[in-house]
Amino acid sequence: MSRRSKPERRIPAADPIYNSVDVSKFINRILRRGKKSLAERIFYSAIAEIEEKTNEKGLEIFQKAITNATPLLEVKARRIGGSTYQVPIDVKADRGFALASSWIIEAAKKRSGKSFKSKLTNEIIDASNGSGAACKKREDTHRMAEANKAFAHYRY
């Protein structure tokens, strides 16, 4: 393990339209092969489509979807005395956002549909309603942590 101090955490610049760092982070997760303009176009058109479908602000729906998909607990494998235990640990806010956004994007990729924009739109709407594959993943993670609650004293 390194004896040096931890590196400073870099925060990306806020996006130009909504002036939100969370949107900027989400767009960076959509990014494929460095094509940021394409990722931005996909996200902003998905938000516009959400506004058309729900008649509510797209950014609020997006924030609600992220909140509904963010886990509070997760399990981490810890090796103690030759056996491996799944130890439940609390999820920090940054890691929670990262997990939620990656789960939403993964679930959108696995959906059936024409374009990634429409898949992402539907997944964000479903996640904001508390359904969808991303929210199911969160529930599975919580269920796993609850099942292994007996090993919580191995927490580090």
* pTM for the model: 0.89
128 is a domain residue? yes
Domain span at residue 37? 21-154
Domain presence at residue 123 = yes
Domain count of the chain?
Answer: 1
Q: Is residue 104 situated within a structural domain?
A: yes
Q: Is residue 13 included in any domain, yes or no?
A: no
Please give the angle made by the CA atoms of 74, 121 and 106, to the nearest 5 degrees.
35
The residue count for the chain? 156
- Please check whether residue 32 is in contact with residue 23, taking contact to mean a CB–CB distance below 8 angstroms: no
- Going by pLDDT thresholds of 50, 70 and 90, the confidence category of residue 60 is very high
Q: What is the pLDDT of residues 7-36, one digit of tens each?
A: 898 888 999 999 999 999 999 999 989 999
Residue 111, in any domain of the structure? yes
Residue 2 within any structural domain of the chain: no
Residue 65 sits in a domain of what CATH number? 1.10.455.10
Asked if residue 97 is part of any domain, the answer here is: yes
If you average pLDDT over every residue of the chain, what do you get? 91
Mean pLDDT, range 109-125, rounded to an integer: 91
Residue 10 lies in a domain: no
